[in-house]
Amino acid sequence: MKNAIKMIQPWVLALIMGMLAASPALALRVNFSSQGDSDRLIFAFDSKQLPEFEVSRVGERELNISLPNGIWDSETKPTSKDFPGKLVESLRTTENGVELVTRTNAFGYINVATPGKPEFLLQIFRDPIGARWKAPVERQETVAPEADTPAENVTETEPVTAPEPQPAAPQNTAPQVQPAPQPAQPQAQGNGEGQRQPFFAVPYSVRNEVQAPGQASEPVSGATADPAPVQEEPVEPVAPQEPEVTYPPSSELRFKVSDSTPEEAGFAELAEESILDSTPAPSEQRGTVGAVTPPVDNGDIAEVQEPASGSGAAGGSVAPPPGSTAASAPTVSGQGQAGGTVSPPPSVVEGAPPPEPTAEEEALVQQTMENPTEQLSVQEQIALQEGGEGTPVPEEPVAAAEEELQAEADTAQEGEPQTQEQLDQAIRDKLYEAQSMMFSGALDNALPMFEDILKQPNIPDDVREETLFAVADIKKEMFKDQLDEKFSEITQAYIEAMNANPRSNRVPRSLLNLGLLNLRMGNFPEAKAYFKILQDKYPDDENIPSISYYWGEYYYNKGDYKKAADQFQYLIQTHPEHELVKQAAYYLADSLNKTGFVEQAFQIVDYIDKRWPDYYMENPQFLRLAGGVEMKLEKWPQAKNHFFTYYNINPEADGADLVLARIGDIYVRQGENDAARQVYQKAIKDFPDKDGGLISKMRLAEEGIYDEPAMAEMASVFDRPYNKRPENIYKEIVENHPDSPLAPIAQLKLAMWYAFNEQYPEALTAAQDFVDLYPEHQLVDRARTLGDSVFALAVPGMIEEERYGRIVRYWETYDFIGQEDTKVDDQTRLNVATSYWKVGQPEKALEIIKPFLQDKQIPGISDEALGLAVNIYLDDLAWQEIADLVAMAKKNWDLKPAQLRQLDYARAMSLQNLGQDNQAQAMWAELAKDMDVEPAFRAYAMYYMAKAAMERQDLRRVFVYAQEALTLLLQNDGDPEKIKDAVLMSIYATERSGRYEEALKWAKQYDEYISVDNPEWASTRFKLARIYRKAGAMEEWKQLLTDIIEKKPDSLQAQLAKSALDTYDLEQQVQQYQPGPR
């Protein structure tokens, strides 16, 4: 074994040595890092000294690093790769160097050799001015190559009169770059040999395979990762033609997008225009757009960049008007932009231009516009709007700063004087250093440096302008959350910056920023005035479309979605290629959805999905919006795909619980109950206390979807034996999650549960809680209706049990019962009125039934209300009201005979008490002889007829009517007083007619109705004693008088009784002495 190992070792050593010899000893290493809004690449050589190199821009998005010929003989080529940078997209090696491809044409670069090391730094930063770069019309003569350079590498070029579109390599490759700059060639999207299909043919399911930003994509259509150099062929001049539009194949993955929205734009993007430009372009030139910040919730104010030139640009081909062909539309490539032809969004709402100033504001603006900008500074223009006089900020040199600068110069040159050019260059170097800090995000350090520059004497005008605008932008970014305290400081900084050069191309941006700052502070007249100046003075400025966007965003954040939709629609209609159109379209779709225009919202969602198919990576909430809109339109497959994509991107994202619940709902709608149950159970497991979990619990408990519950459909849910799950989940939501959007629905369903189980008090309480807690909820009317229904169900039983007090208490306690908008039926209201009468509140009873006692009769209701009202008036002795009510009813209503007799009785009673005896007697006579009249009414008729006969001393009729009245009264438990009156009238008639024994019989009967405690007992006994005496029953007479004296000794009747007895004794004594008969 040892010998075998010894034999193997030499072979292994030889193999290792061979492998080492096969690779060069030296290599070029490229280290990439991204910092702030810039990308840094360090090129490090293994050789001991840095070779000569040159960095040059050779295309709109290409940089070429030229190295000495034969460099790859001594250094290993770096690996071609893609970078996840904000600006750098990929690196490729060329024959004598390296080529970088950027993501945008709006960039600048700086390269610096590292002292003492064989490496150099290449920093690429965002710069809108870089978008102006143009390739030279004629190619420069190339430098003659060295002797050992192959002759075929040197090609002589001709002037290019019209660039011909060439198909670009796939995304993973970069075009071969020649040493000298060449005109930028338009690149077509995708592989030219791919299927020419519209990009929106990509299925939704592909979204689940989208790679994360920065991850290399798979080559498509057979593209290779490292293509061979492209051999340049002579190009024949051809006539200009439109670029051919090619579409990616349907299986191509959606590419990466920028995650920078108008609300999330950082300051480095905002201030990138501030890089020094010694020859600023006039303000009328298109293509230079300044930083703009909208008033958003987080304080950021978004940047307004040149369309289709940067990340997230709203580029792309839009279908031309009818009559033209799609091929005539130019193809614009931008990150997040799909190629192909997309129809513009439909005009779903009437787009409205930005709000105009009022008449007074318009007059102020017009006065300002009459003065040309050359004569008045911007500060003076703003002052004129406010009614004051503008005074430009004075520029005062600072002596201390001048001395400091001079001291530094003396120290640097050791007494040797510096020229003005050297002083200017020192200031510019300091400006570059401050800008570098600003771009890297070190705003706290950059601001003092900019302010220090302003203190220097004799600052060049362009440096001063750059510095002032940088100071204004930094202050706006630093103090975005302190506008209440720093508003004046920020606005003053912008005004001072504009005064530095009123003709600067940054003035429109500053006017827009001032308008946005005032809009955020609620200074609407000032905001409209600034926007008006911008629109009038710079009608072609690229900031103009942003005004509509920010007004729409302002209305959207306020919840005024109709006005917001008008503004967003206006922007999309008038500037379909603007960079803010993408976000505006999202806000427009959401605004339409929230205002109920679901069909129109779907059209906008479909437009977004087709024009920016990867927009969901930038704004995942778009997936929730699209799914919600499609659910409302019952587009179940599309909605499910959108929701699944949202959940799969980040299962822990905000709203993932609700998305799972919605997926379960879609499965239920599609009849896939098992799948729905699994999704609901997962939502409950992962999110037990979130809305999605609670919804899922409710779905499983109810075994269905009941988001707008009605009592009829919920009864089928509750009608399951031994099922307490609904009640339990309702109580859990109401008690443990009162702030959840589900709480109102759970509260209403809990009331329905109680009502179904005939727990009426609990149901009424639950309905009242809903009204108290959620008075503005869309289901509040349903809760009121439920409460009314429960009350109507409970009242009849309480009437039978004579629980009038509870009925009145419910009526007064619950807000939804008894109010003007109550849904309580009329019969229930009559029962409530009866309850009020029974508990001694007749006035409230009459108030409830008053609507039923009008000229127009309500069948079945008015009749009962009339009877109740008559009884109430009878109790209150309101005779005139009875007479008027009966007269109205007999005149306007169709009454039954029985009710007519009742009304005749009531009217006769009222006439009797009003003193109209003659009319009353006639009506009493009619009622008395009608045997169909109720016995109680006939009893009263006989009673009043007997009293009338008493007045006429018609003893026979008195006795007859009184006897009939007494019989009827006794049969119907009539009024006891009237019963006694009938007995007294019988006693009177018989006594006066000499029928004492009969009178004595009635007197004994009357005595039974009177107790000793009755005030009339003594007088009645005295009358009875008198009758006994007239009948000759002296012993009974003496007994009655003795009872009066004993039981009522202090009464008048007792004194009369004593006197009568004394007189009787005296008479008896006298009779003893009276001579007998002879």
pLDDT above 60: residue 437: yes
| Residue 472 banded pLDDT, cuts 50, 70, 90 | very high
Lowest mean pLDDT among 436-445, 647-656, 715-724, 747-756: 715-724
Averaged confidence pLDDT in the chain: 73
Long-range CB pairs of 914-921 (<8 Å, 24+ gap) are 914/879, 914/880, 914/883, 917/948, 920/944, 921/945, 921/948
Separation between Cα atoms, residue 187 and residue 1034, nearest integer Å: 143
CB 90 within 8 A of CB 100: yes
Residue 186 has pLDDT above 60, yes or no: no
Whether residue 498 is predicted with pLDDT greater than 80 in this model: the reply is yes
The Cα 415–Cα 433 span in angstroms is 26
**Cα–Cα distance, 565 to 569 (Å, whole number):** 6
**By the 8 A CB rule, do 543 and 304 touch?**
yes
Are 692 and 656 within 8 A, CB to CB?
yes
Q: What is the pLDDT of residue 733?
A: 93
Tokens at 6, concatenated: 């010894």
Residues 278 and 425 sit within 8 Å (Cβ to Cβ)? no
- What are the Cα distances from residue 925, in Å, to 255, 316, 902, 916, 940? 104, 101, 14, 15, 11
CA atoms within 13 A on the CB side of 555: 22
- Give CB contacts under 8 A, 24+ apart, made by 1033-1041: 1033/1000, 1038/1064
Mean pLDDT along residues 312-333: 32
Query: Pairing between strand 341-342 and 317-318?
Result: parallel
Taking only the tens place, the pLDDT of each residue in 928-980 is: 777 877 777 788 888 888 888 888 888 888 888 888 888 888 777 777 778 87
State the pLDDT at residue 299. 36
Q: Enumerate the H helices of 670-738 as residue ranges.
A: 673-686, 691-702, 711-718, 725-736
Residue 392 CA to residue 376 CA, distance in Å, equals 9
pLDDT digits (tens, 9 = 90+) for 388-412: 443 343 344 334 444 444 554 454 4
Mean pLDDT, rounded, for 73-98: 87
Residue in 739, 749, 836 with CA at minimum distance from that of residue 786: 749
Mean pLDDT of 433-457: 90
pLDDT of residue 220: 34
CA distance 98 to 1002: 139
Distance CA 795, CA 523 (A): 58
State how far the Cα of 321 lies from the Cα of 341, in Å rounded to an integer. Answer: 12
| Radius of gyration for the alpha carbons in the chain, expressed in angstroms and rounded | 52
Question: Treating both helix axes as pointing N-terminal to C-terminal, what angle do 1034-1047 and 1017-1030 enclose, rounded to 10 degrees?
Answer: 160
pLDDT band at 301 (very low <50, low <70, confident <90, very high): very low
Q: How many other CB atoms are found less than 10 A from the CB of residue 191?
A: 21
Q: Domains of the chain by range and CATH?
A: 24-126 (2.60.40.3470), 266-277+286-310+344-395+459-571 (no CATH)
Q: Residue 348: its pLDDT value, please?
A: 58
Q: Tell me, what's the pLDDT at 570? A: 93
Mean pLDDT of 610-625: 93
The rounded percent of the chain whose pLDDT value lies above 90 is 26
Helix H or strand E segment including 945: helix 935-952
Residue 675 pLDDT level (bands cut at 50, 70, 90): very high
Name which of 989, 1016, 1015, 1017 is nearest 1002 in CA terms: 989
What six digits make up the tokens of 478?
A: 């630093």
Q: Is the pLDDT of residue 853 over 70?
A: yes
Mean pLDDT of 695-722: 86
The confidence band for 1066, taking pLDDT boundaries of 50, 70 and 90, is confident
pLDDT of residue 722: 63
| pLDDT of 818 | 58
pLDDT (average), residues 1028-1038: 77
Residue 786's nearest CA partner among 808, 809, 763 is 763
Distance CA 636, CA 663 (A): 9
Phi, psi of 120 (to 5 degrees): -140, 155
Residue type at 886? V
Q: 381-385, 505-509, 569-573, 732-736: which has the minimum mean pLDDT? A: 381-385
Q: What is the DSSP string of 184-232?
A: PPP--SS-TTS----GGGS-GGGGGGPPPTTSPPPP-TT--SSPPPPPP
CB 128 within 8 A of CB 288: yes
Backbone angles phi, psi at 1072, to 5 degrees: -65, -35
| For the chain, percent of residues with pLDDT exceeding 70 | 70
